Structure 1
Amino acid sequence: MTDSPSSETGPDSGSTTTRASPRGEARRKRQLEVAREHFLEHGFAATSINEIARQAGGSLATLYRNFGNKDGLFLAVMQQEAQTVWSVMDHEANETRSVEEALEDFGMAMLALALAPELIRLFRGLAFESGRNPQLGKLFLDNGPKLTRQRLAGYLSRQVAQGHLPPTGLGQEPLAAANLLTGMLLNPLHVDALLGCPPDTASPEQLRPHVRRCVRVFLAGFGAS
């Protein structure tokens, strides 16, 4: 099912900043849940915002008020997905974990998301659709992979500032360091999965040694003891 152009755009290009009631928050959460299912199952182009509103309950106007338009809804879903990866490190200041342990937990969470079959389908669809709509690809990158790398860079910077990582070498380029670590973690597993050859070693127990090796090589390159 597809929507008319006007229903995709919506009456407002931005979401409301008014604090919602508990009932309104519950409805927004339900809209996000249904939207996630549709985007992951059907891709961006084939997802119907009218169908999301119908399944989630409430009016189409409420959905537009919460998210602005289809792009805004997709953006909210991507930010939520990125948060599932980052949640394992949200309280690093209060943790007793070492940097190595924290990065291993981050790597495991990132791979669990990136290698999930529904995310692989979404990646494939976005790669195709972005050829016709580059803004869609940018929206995904800015609020998914790039956001994750930026937050990882922030974490690494804080560890340098707190003396847990050396300030020289990669310590001077936290974003480059974050790019290196995420690249090491994803390759070749993610490319293999995108091409229809999912890794045989995709269970948490099997992925842990790969993640541990990547983190140890990364920290050695960082100059951490």
Structure 2
Amino acid sequence: MQNLAHIEPLGLPQTRRGHERCVALLESATELFLKRGFEAVSLDDIVNHAGGSKASIYKYFGNKDGLFKAICDYRRSLFFKDICLPFNVNENTDIRAYLIRTLLNFHQHIVMPENAAFMRLIFEQTGRNPDIAQYIHEQGPKHIQNVIAEILTQAHEHGLIYCDNPLFSAQFYFGILRNLEWRILMGIYDPKNDQETDKYITYCVDRFLEGHQKR
């Protein structure tokens, strides 16, 4: 059973049955939104697909926008759980290998058709609702940038790199994937080039680390 700890409904279900009902609503709504588009799907459509009643949606999520935010939280927890693995500088973790692996993990996730489709849906909805845009930015890109910034801070404090502005460096680091990400979102990415992508990521991380050495 998937964990709902990272989503923010109005009231998390306390029972196993309630937990399963909440997950079913999230997964059914996601499937319908991806298939038909957000605007074309009603709460009745979601309930008919998932079972239950609209009362559950109002109870857990408040409204359709609240449901969409919860879906983003839910998918974010699934998306990021295997991307940024634990980093412990005291266990002689190889910062270079860690940074390469994180980008490779990120790339492997965003090339999945459903993840790419959901990212397109997010862009569509953030253009419609500034509040959702701000929320998703805080919980998604900004969150993972802060995670990497903290890791860069640890590496700096232990003398592995020189990084006097870890947040800027984290933003720069994720910029390595920007061209690949756009190609995926526009549907022009060629998976035959995955080996070349691995070389590209390794090359960019090496240049990134060269730029984080004391002169």
TM range (shorter): 0.7 to 0.9
Measure how far apart 1:215 and its partner are. Answer: 1.9
* 1:191 alignment counterpart: 182
Number of aligned positions between the proteins: 205
* 1:104 alignment counterpart: 100
Instruction: Give me the identity figure in percent.
Output: 28
Distance in 2, matches of 1:95 and 1:184, equals 27
* 1:160 alignment counterpart: 156
Deviations 1:155-198 (A, max 9, x none): 3223334x1633x4xx2211111111111123x21222333322
Say if 1:181 and 1:218, in contact at 8 Å, map to a contact too: yes
* 2:49 alignment counterpart: 55
Please state if 1:216 is matched with 2:206: yes
Measure how far apart 1:219 and its partner are. Answer: 1.6
* Root mean square deviation of aligned Cα: 3.0
Distance in 1, matches of 2:74 and 2:159, equals 29
The amino acid of 1:178's aligned partner reads: A
Segments of 5+ residues of structure 1 without an aligned counterpart are 1-12
Deviations 1:69-119 (A, max 9, x none): 222222222223333234343433397642222222221222223333334
Please state if 1:116 is matched with 2:103: no
Segments of 5+ residues of structure 2 without an aligned counterpart are 1-7
Which one of 185, 197, 203 corresponds to residue 207 of structure 1?
Answer: 197
* 1:175 alignment counterpart: 167
Closer, same or farther: CA 120–72 of 1 in aligned 2, 3 Å: same
Distance in 1, matches of 2:117 and 2:206, equals 31
Closer, same or farther: CA 106–136 of 1 in aligned 2, 3 Å: same
TM-score (norm 2): 0.77
TM-score (norm 1): 0.74
